[in-house]
Structure 1
Amino acid sequence: MKVLLLGSGGREYAMALKLKASATPVELFAAPGSDGLAELGTCHSLDSEDPTVVAAWCAAHRPDLVVVGPEAPLVAGVADAVRAVDVPVFGHGAATARLEGSKAFAKAFMERHGIPCAASRTVTDLAEGEALIRSWPHGYPIVLKADGLAAGKGVVLAQDEAEALATFQAFLAGQFGEASRTVVFEEPLVGMELSLHVLVDVDADHAAYALLPACQDHKRIFEEDRGPNTGGMGAFGPIPFLRPGDVERMRRELVEPTVRGLQKDGLLARGVLFLGVMWTAAGPKLLEYNVRFGDPETQVLMQLLDEDLPSLLMEVAQGRLVARELHLKPGTAITVVLAAQGYPESAVKGVPITLGRTPVTVIHAGTRRQEGQWLTHGGRVLNLATAAPDLAAARAAIAAALPAVHWPGMQVRRDIGLKALAHAQAGRTVQDPW
């Protein structure tokens, strides 16, 4: 199977490893790709966010399948353009991608289809927003979200009125361009956050989905969840204290209304939805939709999935997904991010990496190869990922592997999964205080 993979990061590298390890032989192409991906296939310096450019390449080279990694190409309409030249795509069209591309659109979708979520207001007017802040009924922090894509930086939890006013004024003045000229205000939700991925295949005549194991990401740069937010410093799954009944509740209250809503609204969905969930005292509530696999959650899910990935993604792309339980490997998977000095503010690039032999999987996320030497070339540089019989064993395997990989200034959290492990060992559940 000839596969074009759009993207260049750790998520795409993890998917590429899984594609190449499948029973179905895969000839892999990546755009724009990376030096890491170049070791698994052929990279092309295409503008992966330009629908015309990607569709023209597909029309000329006729891949069997296009797999879109990041959200920006989906929001830009790349999947629509590729489907128009009769090439199957694992990735949603632009209309469905608005679930991530516009937070106001997503909130209206949730409310229209009765999906539990935070109370919210969408504002485009300066005076209206300032008045709302001064009379905010839900307590602090106020969650302010730029409506559009803002490279993961468009969400602020304002701790008081002054911070809320300053944030709102900066957003509306164009801090993130057009992406922040519409602002969504939300009540704060308290509880345990988790990531739920769902393969979805929905059109006017067909609606099928398949759940992947729930994962938990760790966003803060420092251990014990301190410091600024990042794109994710590590993840694990499944969550050891999440019971089958809890998963069924998320299926019933969040997933199935979403799938029905997609069909009712006439939205073509052929890809994955990544639901950000907060499990509150009142049960699961939806924080947001993402229309692509999470990073670093993908690195975990690819370790757990016991399916022929090219065939599975093709089923979705061609509208042939049959609702079923996916085949999974037993046990727990974990990934730990190794980040550059200065991340997340400004990553130091060009630092030589010592990369020794290790029994765990090394995933390239932000690296460059020069004269046979791997160098740092991004914020999140490498991931170490593995699977083990349980979370404690998975953590131990990563800890044993860490000394083999290092460079000056490397940042790593050694507590990925530790809080959840203690929660489970204490006999607590998802309903208990986190």
Structure 2
Amino acid sequence: MKILLLGSGGREHALALKLKTSAQAVDLISAPGSDALAELGACVKLDLEDPAAVAAWCASNRPDLVVAGPELPLVAGVGDAVRALGIPVFGHNEATARLEGSKAFAKAFMQRHGIPCAASHTVAALAEGEALIREWPYGYPIVLKADGLAAGKGVVLAAHETEALETFRAFMAGQFGEASRTVVFEAPLVGMELSLHVLVDVDADHAAYAMLPACQDHKRIFEGDLGPNTGGMGAFGPIPYLRPEDVERMRTELVEPTVRGLQEDGLAARGVLFLGVMWTAAGPELLEYNVRFGDPETQVLMQLLDEDLASLLLEVAEGRLVARNLRLKPHTAIAVVLAAEDYPEGAKKGVSIAIGSPGVTLIHAGTKKQDGQWVTNGGRVMNLATSAPDLAAARAAIEASLSEVQWPGMQVRRDIGLKALRHALAGKTVQDSW
């Protein structure tokens, strides 16, 4: 099977490693790819935000399947352009990708279909927003979200009125270009945050989905959940204190209304939805939709999935998904991010990486080869990932491998999953506070 994989980061390397384990031979081409992905197949330089360019390459090379890693090509309409050639695409069309590309669109969808979420207001005028802040009825912090894509930086939790006004004015002045000239204001949600991925295959005549295990990400740079937010310093799944009845609540209150809503609104969906969930005192509430796999959650899920990934993604892309429980290893998986010096404010690049023999899966995210040597080339440089019978054993396997990958200034959190492990051992549930 010839597969074109769009993307270049850790998520895509994890997908590529799993795709190459398929029972059938996989001819993998990555665009734009990376030096690590080049070890698994060819790389081609394509502008992923140019649907015509990607479609032209596909028309000439006729892949059997296109797999979209990041959200940008989907929001740009790459899925539509390639699908028009009769080539299956694992990735949503432009209309459905608005669930991530526009926070206002997503909130309206949630509200229209009765999906539990934070109270919100969408504002596109300066005076209206300033008045809303001064009369804000829900307490602080106020969550301000730039409507469009802002490279993960368009969400601010304003602790008081002054910060809210400053943030809103900066957004409206074009801090993130057109992406922040419409702003969604949300009431704060308090509780336990988790990540839920769902494969979805929806059109006018067919609606099927398959849930993957819920994961938990760790956003702060330092241990103990301290320091600035990052793209994610590590994740694990399944969550040991999440009970079967909790998973069923997410299915009935979040997933099924989403799938019905897509069909009712005439939104075709062939890919994955990543639901950011906050489990509050009232139960699960939806924070946001993403229209692609999360990073580093993908690295966890690929350790757990006991399916032929190439066949599974093609099943979704061709509209043949049969709703079922996916085959999973009876394990807990974990991924720990190794980050560059200065991350998340910056990233020290070009630092040589010493790689020994880690006894776990090594995933490249922000690396390149320089004179035959791997060097740092991004903020989140590598991931160590594995699975084991339980979370404690998975954590121990990562800890035993950390000394095998090193470079000066490397940042790593050694407490990924530790708080959850202690929570579970204390007999607490998702509704109990840490």
> Structure 1 residue 364: deviation in Å?
0.2
What letter is aligned with 1:37?
L
Q: Give the unaligned 5+ runs of structure 2.
A: none
Find the counterpart in structure 1 of residue 29 from structure 2. Answer: 29
Q: Distance in 1 between matches of 2:433 and 2:341?
A: 34
User: How far does the alpha carbon of each residue in 1:110-165 deviate from its partner, in whole angstroms, 9 at most, with x for none?
Assistant: 00000000000000111110010011000000000000000000000000000000
What are the residue-to-residue correspondences of 1:313-392 with 2, within 5 Å?
A: 313-392=313-392
What letter is aligned with 2:61?
H
What are the residue-to-residue correspondences of 1:83-102 with 2, within 5 Å?
A: 83-102=83-102
Find the counterpart in structure 2 of residue 142 from structure 1. Answer: 142
Q: Distance in 1 between matches of 2:46 and 2:364?
A: 20
2:408 matches 1:432: no
Find the counterpart in structure 1 of residue 287 from structure 2. Answer: 287
Classify the secondary structure of the residue corresponding to 2:221. strand
Classify the secondary structure of the residue corresponding to 2:335. strand
> Structure 1 residue 331: deviation in Å?
1.2
Find the counterpart in structure 1 of residue 239 from structure 2. Answer: 239
User: How far does the alpha carbon of each residue in 1:342-363 deviate from its partner, in whole angstroms, 9 at most, with x for none?
Assistant: 1111101000000111110000
What letter is aligned with 1:236?
F
User: How far does the alpha carbon of each residue in 1:173-229 deviate from its partner, in whole angstroms, 9 at most, with x for none?
Assistant: 000000000000000000000000000000000000000000000001111111111
What letter is aligned with 2:417?
G
What letter is aligned with 2:369?
R
Q: Distance in 2 between matches of 1:370 and 1:87?
A: 36
The answer (yes or no) to whether the contact 1:79–1:94 under 8 Å persists in 2 is yes
What letter is aligned with 1:280?
T
> Structure 1 residue 36: deviation in Å?
0.5
What letter is aligned with 2:330?
P
Find the counterpart in structure 2 of residue 121 from structure 1. Answer: 121
What letter is aligned with 1:96?
T
Alignment identity in percent? 81
Find the counterpart in structure 2 of residue 70 from structure 1. Answer: 70
Q: How many residue pairs get matched? A: 434
2:161 matches 1:161: yes
The answer (yes or no) to whether the contact 1:10–1:366 under 8 Å persists in 2 is yes
> Structure 1 residue 431: deviation in Å?
1.2
Q: Under a length normalisation based on structure 1, what TM-score does the superposition of the two structures give?
A: 1.00
The answer (yes or no) to whether the contact 1:24–1:308 under 8 Å persists in 2 is no
Q: Under a length normalisation based on structure 2, what TM-score does the superposition of the two structures give?
A: 1.00
> Structure 1 residue 90: deviation in Å?
0.1
Find the counterpart in structure 2 of residue 255 from structure 1. Answer: 255
> Structure 1 residue 62: deviation in Å?
0.3
CA RMSD of aligned residues (A): 0.4
2:303 matches 1:303: yes
2:198 matches 1:201: no
Q: Give the unaligned 5+ runs of structure 1.
A: none
Q: Distance in 1 between matches of 2:199 and 2:242?
A: 20
What letter is aligned with 2:147?
D
> Structure 1 residue 107: deviation in Å?
0.1
The answer (yes or no) to whether the contact 1:234–1:296 under 8 Å persists in 2 is yes
What letter is aligned with 1:318?
E
Classify the secondary structure of the residue corresponding to 1:194. strand
The answer (yes or no) to whether the contact 1:11–1:365 under 8 Å persists in 2 is yes
Q: Distance in 2 between matches of 1:329 and 1:49?
A: 36
Q: Distance in 1 between matches of 2:116 and 2:165?
A: 27
